[in-house]
Amino acid sequence: MAKKIFLFLALIIFTASSVEAAEEPPFDSLASTYVEGGREFLNLIRMKDDGELLFMVASRKVQGIALVPYSRSVYDFYLNQDQTGSYPPLIFGMMFPDEQRPQIDDNLGDWQGNLHLLPVYALFEVKDGQIICDKPFYSASGLNPKHYHGTIRNTDHEKLIEIFMTHMPRLHEIIAAQNISLP
């Protein structure tokens, strides 16, 4: 029950609509790292209208959510080491719905109304199966930067990026246990 309430609250933030208008979510939850009493989770969702797969990151601490489009390379980011045993940077796009300007990081990424689209460049290590984020995270203006020289300073953005990265191994376990096939 608490999981449904938390997902419902995340949906309200996501859609920025009233409780009355948000009776049924526009997505199906396929897998989630949410645990009873947890304050953060990573969820894999499928949009009902077009079948698009997205990761939904939520945190009660920052009272917000973010979305990341699914791709196999982003999903498997922590499994790919180079020849030296190092991990290449994780580069992905994160969407922050219902953000207001001006705010910290508003010169990074792009805006579509109140939707903040943020390209992210994140360095990390993996130790004993756990993701260790190497902060700060970086970004740039626009959606397809060639260089990431801007530092992400918004602590809410930082927290949601960190949750996304650190919860991914657990999400892998849950998806495997549920025999979910992904492209």
On whether the CB atoms of residues 46 and 31 are closer than 8 A, the answer is no
DSSP string, the chain: -HHHHHHHHHHHHHHT--TTT-SS-SEEEEEE---TT-SEEEEEEEETTT--EEEEEEETTTTEEEEEE--HHHHTGGG---TTSPPPPEEEEEEETT--SS-TTTTSBEEETTEEEEEEEEEEEEETTEEEEEEEEEE-BSSS-S---EEP--HHHHHHHHHHHHHHHHHHHHHHHTT----
What does the pLDDT read at residue 23?
72
pLDDT digits (tens, 9 = 90+) for 124-153: 999 998 999 999 999 999 999 999 999 999
CA 174 to chain centre: 17
What does the pLDDT read at residue 102?
81
**What mean pLDDT do residues 86-97 have?**
96
With 80 as the cut, is the pLDDT of residue 112 above it?
yes
With 70 as the cut, is the pLDDT of residue 7 above it?
no
- Residues 68 and 179: their CA atoms lie apart, in Å, by 22
With 50 as the cut, is the pLDDT of residue 82 above it?
yes
The model carries a pTM of: 0.87
- CA distances 67 to 83, 93, 138, 143, 147, Å, are 31, 9, 17, 15, 22
With 70 as the cut, is the pLDDT of residue 1 above it?
no
Backbone angles phi, psi at 113, to 5 degrees: 65, -125
With 60 as the cut, is the pLDDT of residue 14 above it?
no
pLDDT digits (tens, 9 = 90+) for 35-45: 999 999 999 99
CA angle 164, 169, 170 (to 5 degrees): 90
